[in-house]
Structure 1
Amino acid sequence: MAEDVDNQGAAVEAGQSQKVLLIVEDDESLARTLKRSFERRGYRVLTAQSHEEVLELLKTDSPGYAVVDLKLNGASGLSCVQTLHAHDEEMNIVVLTGFASIATAVEAIKLGARHYLAKPSNTDDIEKAFDKTEGDAEVELGARPTSIKTLEWERIHQTLADADFNISEAARRLGIHRRTLARKLLKRQVK
């Protein structure tokens, strides 16, 4: 488990209550980059790479903010969202994913996330999402209909999620060859 509690003393000495952020991300490089960036903004940052690590962290800490990757070593980050929301209904949870789909966005919000961002997103995007606690009825509706490629990607991602991110099983359910699915996933991969 990677628990990081650097910089806690500086905010406490200054008499400020420090924002505690949990980053649930299995990509160590991205987690490290986000951690540094949020620490520069005054957050105390904890990190976890799995649902099990989240459960351990919640025994000793109660973060007010969380950034959760949707896909954690093949497992769904939605279980982390559910656990974090059950731990504290007021926690600001943002789901960050390179596999964005309407289905997972809806489920993430139902499970307690405040916002859902597609990668690549930066610290500014995530912090804006933390601050956005209400919906915006004035948001512009897209003038363009969804493309076939986007619909295909959403169908692929939904099938992957339903198959617990097992590529062979997802390919079988989609009726395509496993290698064809693997190539499509490589083309759409976002890091």
Structure 2
Amino acid sequence: MNANGANKLLVIEDDQSFANITMRRLTKHGFNCQHAADADQALLACRGMLPDYILLDMKLERSSGLTLLPLLRAIVPSARIVLLTGYASIATAVAAIKQGADDYLAKPVDSQTLINTLLGDSSTQASTDIVNDNVLSPMRVEWEHLQQVLKANKGNISETARQLNMHRRTLQRKLQKKPL
């Protein structure tokens, strides 16, 4: 928290409308928000404002939030960095934590979960997660990842199975079992 009492938050997001909505929601909860749309703007803003918190999108227009994490961590080692993504997977969650993120959230996320995660309030977050329908189970995360790889392969099951290193029939079974 800075001297005037507001929590300085840097929102690094290439989707301008999502960034505006997120900043408006967080400003109502006492955060002093600044926006950066790409990696270059993010590094400049980070050096200028020295944020207490950083909300980082994983997929920026021309770069990845994962590659930006160590650079941000070097500038503000004590900042709490939360990686936010619409493409959640176990592999990226592990990579994000290894690269320096303090936490990882899948979009969409409700305001209370986002605030609790930014503040590092795990006790409140755990109780919120039990009630929150937006929390993805590991099966759901896997299913979402399979869907993304399938989409990237334009619906080609065989090519998707090869990329995921699994049998074609196993992939088909997993895709049929859509978790709640």
Aligned residues: 147
Could you say which residue in structure 2 is the equivalent of 1:175?
A: 159
Contact 1:51 1:79 survives alignment (8 Å)? no
Greater helix proportion: 2
* Root mean square deviation, CA, Å: 3.3
Could you say which residue in structure 1 is the equivalent of 2:116?
A: 128
Measured after TM superposition, the shift of residue 16 of structure 1 is: 3.4
Contact 1:114 1:133 survives alignment (8 Å)? no
Structure 2 CA distance, aligned partners of 1:113 and 1:94? Answer: 6
Could you say which residue in structure 2 is the equivalent of 1:119?
A: 107
TM-score, structure 1 length as denominator?
0.64
Distance 1:111 1:171, change over 3 A: farther
Q: Could you say what secondary structure the match of 2:87 adopts?
A: coil
Distance 1:151 1:102, change over 3 A: same
The equivalences for 1:133-172 within 5 A come to: 147=139, 150-151=141-142, 153-154=144-145, 167=152
Contact 1:31 1:47 survives alignment (8 Å)? yes
Distance 1:171 1:63, change over 3 A: farther
Measured after TM superposition, the shift of residue 88 of structure 1 is: 1.7
TM-score, structure 2 length as denominator?
0.67
Could you say which residue in structure 2 is the equivalent of 1:61?
A: 49
Measured after TM superposition, the shift of residue 105 of structure 1 is: 0.3
Could you say which residue in structure 1 is the equivalent of 2:6?
A: 18
Determine whether 1:89 maps to 2:77: yes
Q: Could you say what secondary structure the match of 1:86 adopts?
A: helix
Percent identity at matched positions? 30
Q: Deviations over 1:144-176 (max 9, x none)?
A: x964x753543566x79xxxxxx57x999x725
Gaps of 5+ in 1: 1-11, 140-144, 161-166, 177-191
Measured after TM superposition, the shift of residue 36 of structure 1 is: 1.1
- Report runs of 4+ in structure 1 exceeding 6 Å deviation: none
Gaps of 5+ in 2: 128-136, 161-180
